[in-house]
Amino acid sequence: MKAMHPPTETRHPKKKTHWSALLCSAVMLGLPAYGAEPVRDSPHAIYQPRAQMYLIVSYWKTKHPAVQTSDTFRLSSHIVVPDDNAPAGGTATFGWFDSGEVRLLHYVAYFPSIQFAQSARTVKPTKLPIEIGDLPRYAMICAWPLEDGKPPGAPIRAYAEREDANYTVKETKGHVNVTAAWRNVRVQNAEGKFADKDYCKGIAESKVSSAAWWWPAPDK
């Protein structure tokens, strides 16, 4: 008579979740990791929004009638509102300078969604060459929800600081290329620079800014 043996149990190793890889992906996408600071005064986002801004300047010091050349003076700003159901809305970007002055850098009245609101405009420097002190040290990028027939919702704000370590100027005998970047910083690092007025609410409600345009207004 054969001996009876209890059935063997097959054990499968538990699948490990690679949190470091997930976190790395979130950072690469520019999204806040889980557990970030909640957004204040906004029902439209769960975690803190993020801001970035870039300036690209490329121009020829000397021009020849027989050679076609083009210059680039481009400022782009980007706010990420971590909400898959982010509504339509408008955005504005303000800059704080070391002089204490606040200027309007960019304004867009309407985006179909403010989840990834990125915009750019051509700027016109008042002087060349450009020096790092001519640029704002901090940027405040705000977005506000819009619904048909209703006043603009409470603005969402994110802040960025000029990254001086990666400010570059490449110059040859006839050409100059300048790049500057502003990276996302914590609210407490920059919020106080823009505290004298509610710049975001003002432009959201009136479509006119109390701060003057920086490097003449568009189309001027």
Domain range summary for the chain, segments of one domain joined by +: 49-206
Pair of tokens at residue 27: 């950072």
The pLDDT score that the predictor gives to residue 18 is 37
Instruction: List for the chain the helix, strand, coil content (%; round to 5).
Output: 15, 35, 50
Q: Give dist(CA 112, CA 24) in Å, integer.
A: 29
Q: How many residues does the chain have?
A: 220
- Beta-carbon count within 10 A of 31 CB: 15
Place of tokens 């976190």: 23
The pLDDT score that the predictor gives to residue 47 is 64
Q: Give dist(CA 163, CA 143) in Å, integer.
A: 23
DSSP code of residue 213 = B
pTM for this predicted structure: 0.77
What's the average pLDDT block by block, 10 residues per block, for the chain (220 residues)? 49 40 29 37 62 96 80 95 91 98 97 94 91 97 93 96 97 94 96 97 96 84
The pLDDT score that the predictor gives to residue 220 is 62
The pLDDT score that the predictor gives to residue 63 is 80
Q: What are the backbone angles phi and psi of residue 96, rounded to the nearest 5°?
A: -110, 130
